[in-house]
């Protein structure tokens, strides 16, 4: 028997609801609610008081649109579980990016993604764009 600390790490990808449930959710609820969610989140980001909650909401746009699971991997090592997250850019860089670029570019990006999702032809590109919202808003790496 090997010592627990010498066992290799096991990565477990995040799983979400079945694709049929996600498609039904998108058609019935996700498309219209994501537009409302993104608009409220963006307006909160413009205020200083609402900024943390607005960023939290914008980082969850992919989940609101299609119930997509948040991208994270778990590592089991030595009987402990921890989430593996990529290293983020320094806070000052992310803050300056948000102030000068992220807030207005994210509004344009979300509007374009939402419009693409409203059409069958542009839906795949729209979903891809929604998945990139956290990076557009604040350079978050997922």
Q: What is the pTM of this model?
A: 0.71
Domain that holds residue 92: 4-138
The two tokens of residue 129 are 């764009």
5 confidence band (pLDDT: 50, 70, 90): low
Residue 8: the pLDDT is: 55
| pLDDT at 62 exceeding the cut of 70 | yes
CB 83 within 8 A of CB 71: no
Note the pLDDT of residue 10: 55
pLDDT-above-70 percentage for the chain: 86
Please report how many Cα atoms fall inside a 13 Å half-sphere around the Cα of residue 15, on the Cβ side: 4
pLDDT digits (tens, 9 = 90+) for 95-139: 899 889 998 998 899 999 989 988 889 988 998 998 888 889 888
Per-residue pLDDT band at 7 (split at 50, 70, 90)? low
User: For residue 124, how far is the Cα from the chain centroid?
Assistant: 16
Give the pair of three-digit tokens for residue 105: 């570019």
How many domains is the chain built from?
A: 1
The mean pLDDT of 16-25, rounded to a whole number, is 85
């Amino acid at each position: 028997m090997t010592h627990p600390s010498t066992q290799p790490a096991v990565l477990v990808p995040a799983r979400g609801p079945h694709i049929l449930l996600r498609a039904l959710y998108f058609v019935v609820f996700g498309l219209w609610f994501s537009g409302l969610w993104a608009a409220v989140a963006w307006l909160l980001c413009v205020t200083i008081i609402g900024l943390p909650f607005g960023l939290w909401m914008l980082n969850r746009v992919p989940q609101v649109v299609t119930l997509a699971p948040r991208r994270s991997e778990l590592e089991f090592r030595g009987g402990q579980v921890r989430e593996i997250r990529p290293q983020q850019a320094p806070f000052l860089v992310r803050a300056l990016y948000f102030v000068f670029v992220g807030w207005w570019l994210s509004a344009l990006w979300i509007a374009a993604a939402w419009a693409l999702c409203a059409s069958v032809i542009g839906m795949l590109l729209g979903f891809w764009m929604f998945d990139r919202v956290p990076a557009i808003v604040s350079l978050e790496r997922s």
